[in-house]
Amino acid sequence: MEPKLELSIPPLDAAAAEEAKQRQARLTKPAGALGKLESLSIRLAGMVGRLDWLPLRRSVVVCAGDHGVAAQGVSAYPQAVTYQMVLNFLGGGAAVNVLAHQMNARVTVVDAGVAGDFDAHPALVQGKIAPGTADLTQGPAMTPAQATRALQLGVKCAQIEIERGLALLAVGEMGIGNSTSASAIVAAITGRAAAEVTGRGTGVDDAQLQRKIAVVERALALHDPANEATLAKVGGFEIGAMAGLMLGAAAHRVPVVLDGLISTAAALIAAQVAPDVKHYLIAGHCSAEPGHAIALEWLGLEPLLQLEMRLGEGSGALLAFPLIEAAMRTLNEMATFDEAGVSERDAG
């Protein structure tokens, strides 16, 4: 099994969730008229333990790491792009920076295992475990000790964000080859076939896709049963760090918004460590990667958006922020029938 961390995830606040449900029933609208916003507001109230919460202190943490499996030709881009994109994040030029600026969210980048060193930067957490994982087709991607360090790094980063002020966390990533690792994680934990969960990632052609599926199949055969020590056997340092972030945030009742396939694969790892983490997860969107929908179904999560995105970085998670705020603002700021002097019989 995955390493256990010294943290405790509190249960959802059933009283707050029930209070939110009762208030939804009294707002000036037909029952259920706000659709998924209503159920989302009830879930959020249960997560944070109160109705008057607003997600105004926002952060997106982008975890980066390289993968030895990139040597198998599973990506349309060379491994050096991981390093280059981290520099782009720190320079403010990536999609995550643009969207985070729009959503008034802080961007933090975590070097969990990039093949290259970075100068100090106020937005960078230097947490390199190793300059990339081993090739998961040849042996375990990392040692059990490294897997524990990756999880601990994420928990530490969550604590840093919380100390800086945090109400809502989006978790994103960067790492050439990591959709292969994520596909192996999804297949291992959900029991689905490699061909069902493996997609084009960075945009590989048909021949590369077949090679990628074969790589995932080889990894699963080599590490069978991969659902034991999944992170160490087929994971990535950035995936472990993301899982730790989710666990650390959930331990402090901070809602976590998932991004795409890799972010959601990290959620599967987090759920292996502490199943109750699932109660604090929100699916920002469902990407074009086939394994993403399968992983979300396993977690019991329904995505807020369907935009056919597959960029990563936390981009899709950020786009869900306004919906999360809208869910809580309508819950709190709409008048009830009594307050507005509106007859419930005439509503709608």
At CA 18, angle to CA 325 and CA 45, rounded to 5? 25
Task: Write out the E strands in the chain.
Answer: 58-65, 105-113, 124-126, 168-174, 256-258, 281-283
313 given a catalytic annotation: yes
Beta bridge partners of 64: 111, 174
In terms of phi and psi (left: phi > 0; alpha: psi -120 to 50; beta: otherwise), the region of 143 is beta
Give the span between the Cα atoms of 107 and 287, in whole angstroms. Answer: 21
308, 313, 333, 339: which is the annotated catalytic residue?
A: 313
Taking the CA atoms of residue 68, residue 72, residue 77 and residue 78 in that order, the dihedral angle to the nearest 10 degrees is 50
Best CA proximity match to 55, nearest among 331, 336, 275: 331
Q: Which two tokens stand for residue 338?
A: 């009594």
Dist CA 313 CA 344 (whole Å): 45
Ramachandran angles phi, psi of 87, nearest 5°: -60, -35
Please identify every residue annotated as catalytic. 313
